[in-house]
Amino acid sequence: MTGDPGLQVRTFQDREALSRAAADLFVSLSQSTIAAQGRFAVALSGGSTPKGLYTLLGAAPYREAVPWPRVHLFWSDERCVPQDHPESNYKLAYDAFLSKVSLPSENIHRIRGEEEPGKAARVYEDDLRRFFGGGVPVFDLLLLGAGEDGHTASLFPGSPSLHETTRVALPVYLERPKRDRVTLTLPVLNRAAHVLFLASGRAKADVVSEILEGGNVQRYPAGLVQPVNGDVLWLIDREAAVKLRKPVRT
Ligand code: 6PG
């Protein structure tokens, strides 16, 4: 592994087992964090991998185990589309569990994808500052995925946004069909208390191996997530782990 003591990796037979482990972690962390500080601030990731986790959170027994009224949900990034658009990360969470749990609407801190990206980023920053106070937001749990190119949230390789040091959210204007977006910036990702990466499938084997063992972790935005006072846990399935040289904890 990268040699970073704060980084752990666990491998699971398949995406279903990975999702159950992620749901177990979400429940236990929500309960312990709320017991300790009265609230649980989470940034959700988008994409397809977390769908299994989100579906579990919207059904028994997980739905009943989370103290939802004390949970505040944010997003690591969002596509600049309306909230009911099929590509919306908000819609992904809403359909899977937000519509099924007793979460007060004021606890849902949606990125307004329907707005122009620059405005949406500024509005989101205002929301983050109102909730966390000044300074860099500190999430209790930050959920992230990794693209095959090593992007995470909407921080893409070679993007100037990777060098942002003051703003906490930025607009991302993408040339490719993958939509304009709004993303949290690295200073925020690297202040999280607990970062949970979910990666599944053979298509992620190369990037998982490069990031976790490749030695050139700086090439990949997902590899730049190294919280100053937090830990990183990668939950991967066997297919995504197939190129790892060293056995990892299952
Ligand atoms: C997004 C995500 C993005 C995602 C990766 C992995 O909005 O697309 O935030 O960073 O986590 O692209 O996506 P998959 O889970 O679909 O492989």
Residue 242 lies in a domain: no
Ligand 1: distance of its center to the CA of 34 in Å?
A: 28
Q: Quickly count: other Cβ atoms within 10 Å of residue 158's Cβ.
A: 9
Per-residue model confidence (pLDDT) at position 181: 96
- Residue 1 maps to a domain: no
All residues at 6 or more sequence positions from 18 whose CB lies less than 8 Å from its CB, including other chains: 12, 52, 198, 200, 235, 236, 237
Say if 205 falls within a structural domain. yes
Residue 243 lies in a domain: no
* CATH value at residue 137: 3.40.50.1360
- pTM as predicted: 0.96
Measured distance CA(114)–CA(117) in Å, rounded:
8
Determine the distance separating the centroid of ligand 1 and the alpha carbon of 106, expressed in angstroms.
26
What does the pLDDT read at residue 2? 54
List of residues 6+ apart from 117 with CB closer than 8 A: 80, 171, 172, 173, 180, 181, 182
Work out how many domains the chain is built from and give that number: 1
Residues with CB under 6 Å of ligand 1 are: 45-49, 76-77, 89, 145-147, 151-153
Type of residue at 6: G
Distance CA 19, CA 42 (A): 17
Q: Which of 224, 20, 182 is nearest to 89 (CA)?
A: 182
Kindly state the helix (H) or strand (E) to which residue 208 belongs, with its residue range: helix 205-213
pLDDT value of position 131: 98
Residue 248 lies in a domain: no
What gap in Å lies between CA 57 and CA 50, rounded to an integer?
A: 11
Q: Is residue 250 part of a domain?
A: no
CA nearest ligand 1 atom 14, residue:
47
Question: How much is the pLDDT for 73?
Answer: 98
- Residue 135, sorted as left (phi over 0), alpha (psi -120 to 50) or beta, turns out to be left
Residue 144 counted as domain residue: yes
pLDDT of residue 249: 65
Counting as low any pLDDT under 50, the low residues of the chain are 1
Q: How far is CA 187 from the centre of its chain?
A: 14
Domain range holding 152? 7-237
